[in-house]
Amino acid sequence: MHTTYLLKRYIMVAALTMVALAVLTVAMQAFVGVQIGGATGIVAAIVPAIDAGQTFAKRWEKRPENGYAWKLAAAFVMLNFAVGLVFLVVASAVLGDIAMLQSVIVRLGVPFILLILLAVFLVYWCASRYFFGFGAKQQVRAQQTR
């Protein structure tokens, strides 16, 4: 039961983080003239992973077991990808960039895109695992000092 709760919360925090990053990106471009690079996208995986770790530790007053944390981190990455894909399609439709998105897919080709997705999955998986554990560890420490 706690896994379902964590996954639902992860989706909510990931979506909110993605929206906040989009607003920040547009604001930085409009007001300061600075473009935030695509590498900031990993923040949308790190923030909800930390939150999930903290939530886990608050509810069960312990750190997650290693195997469970790796499995949950893999689920986090898949959920992050799904939420990000929905966000990308909606943003592309609203901004009228669907044709550009399709042309990028055709130009790069499916095998290359799959290779990129595999590399991104591995990076996000490791980052999600680390920050899930980090969030839990920090929460457990905070509880012990009270």
Q: What is the pLDDT of residues 85-123, one digit of tens each?
A: 898 888 878 877 777 777 888 898 889 999 999 999 999
Domain spans, the chain? 2-144
pLDDT digits (tens, 9 = 90+) for 32-60: 888 887 778 899 999 999 999 999 999 99
pLDDT of residue 89: 83
- Residue 132: pLDDT band (50, 70, 90) is very high
Whether the CB-CB separation of 142 and 63 falls below 8 Å is answered with no
Q: Is the pLDDT of residue 26 over 80?
A: yes
pTM of the entire predicted model? 0.88
Mean pLDDT of 60-65: 92
**Rounded (to 5) percent helix, strand, coil in the chain:** 90, 0, 10
pLDDT of residue 142: 92
Listed residue (146, 145, 120, 142) closest to 58, CA to CA: 142
Number of Cβ within a 10 Å radius of residue 78:
13
pLDDT of residue 5: 92
Q: Of all residues in the chain, what percent carry a pLDDT higher than 90? A: 60
Mean pLDDT of 133-138: 96
